[in-house]
Amino acid sequence: MKLKEYEALEKKRIKRNISLMEEGVVFIDLKAAYIDESVKIGRGTVIYPCVVLEGDVVIGEDCVIGQNTRIVDSVIGDGTQVQSSVILQSRVGSDTTVGPFAYLRPNSTIGDGCKVGDFVEVKNSALGDGSKASHLTYIGDSDVGQDVNLGCGVVFVNYDGTSKYRSVVDDGAFIGCNSNLISPVHIGEKAYVAAGSTITEDVPDGALYVARSRGRTLRDWVEKRGILKKKK
C-alpha cells in the first residue's frame, strides 16, 4: 500500500470514529480503534484502544469493549463488558462479562447475565442465562442451560479422533473443577459433578456424580528412595 492510500484510509477511519462519537459512543483514544463502516454501536458504549470491529457487528448501549478486543460478525447485548478477548460469528446477551482472554468461536450463543472468564473457549455451543465459566474451561459442541456453574478446568471432550459429539447440561447443574465430560453425555437439572471426575454416562436430575480413584499416602517414600536425605 502506498503512503497516500494509507493516509486516505486513516482519514476515513478517523472520520468514521468521529461520527460514532457524535452518536454517543465514547472513545478512550479516537485514533486507536479500528471499526468497519458496517458496525453499529449503541449510545454510552465505551471503546478502548486497539479494538478491532469487523463486518456485521452490532453492539448495544452502555457496553465496555476493552483494550485489544477483536469482534467479527457478532451481536453484543446492552450493558455487556468484553475485556481483551476474541468473538467470532457469535451472540452475547446483555449484562454479561467476557474475558479477559476469552475466545468465542463461531456459532456460540451466550445468554444474559453470564460470565465467560479468563482463558475460557466456547465453540459451537450455547450458555444459558446466568451461567458461569469463570476460568480455564473449554465448552465445545454443547448446550449448557441456565444458572449452571462450570468450575475451573472443566473440559467438554467433544472429539474422539473421528467424530464430534454434543453434550447437554441442564439448568442449575454444578460441574466441579477439573472435570471432563466425555461427549455425548447429559447432565440432569440441579445435578452435581464432584471435582476431578470424568463423566462417561448420563447423570440424573439432582444426583451427585463422583468418579475418582481413592488416594494413598506412602510415608517416608522419598527417604526410602534416596531422593532426598532426611533432615535431622
- What's the confidence (pLDDT) of residue 228? 66
Residues of the chain scoring pLDDT < 50: none
- What is residue 227's predicted lDDT score, i.e. its pLDDT? 72
CA atoms within 13 A of residue 148's CA, in its CB half-sphere:
27
Q: What's the pLDDT score for residue 229?
A: 63
The catalytic position among 115, 123, 135, 186 is 135
* pLDDT at position 232: 54
Q: Taking the complete model, does pTM exceed 0.85, yes or no?
A: yes
Report residue 187 CA to chain centroid gap: 20
The pair phi, psi for residue 168, each rounded to 5°, is -130, 135
The answer to whether the peptide bond before residue 204 is cis (omega within 30 degrees of 0) is no
CA-closest candidate to residue 76, choices 49, 50, 114, 34: 114
What does the pLDDT read at residue 214?
87
Q: Report CA torsion sign: 135, 138, 140, 146.
A: negative
pLDDT of residue 188: 98
3-state helix/strand/coil string of the chain: CCHHHHHHHHHHHHHHHHHHHHCCCEECCHHHEEECCCCEECCCCEECCCEEEECCCEECCCCEECCCCEEECCEECCCCEECCCEEECCEECCCCEECCCCEECCCCEECCCCEEEECCEEECCEECCCCEEEECCEEECEEECCCCEECCCCEEECECCCCECCEEECCCCEECCCCEEECCCEECCCCEECCCCEECCCECCCCEECCCCCCCCCCCHHHHHCCCCCCC
Going across the sheet that includes 51-54, the strands are: 33-35, 51-54, 70-72, 86-88, 103-104, 121-123, 138-140, 155-157, 180-182, 198-199
Superfamily holding 3-225: Hexapeptide repeat proteins (2.160.10.10)
Q: Is 135 a catalytic residue?
A: yes
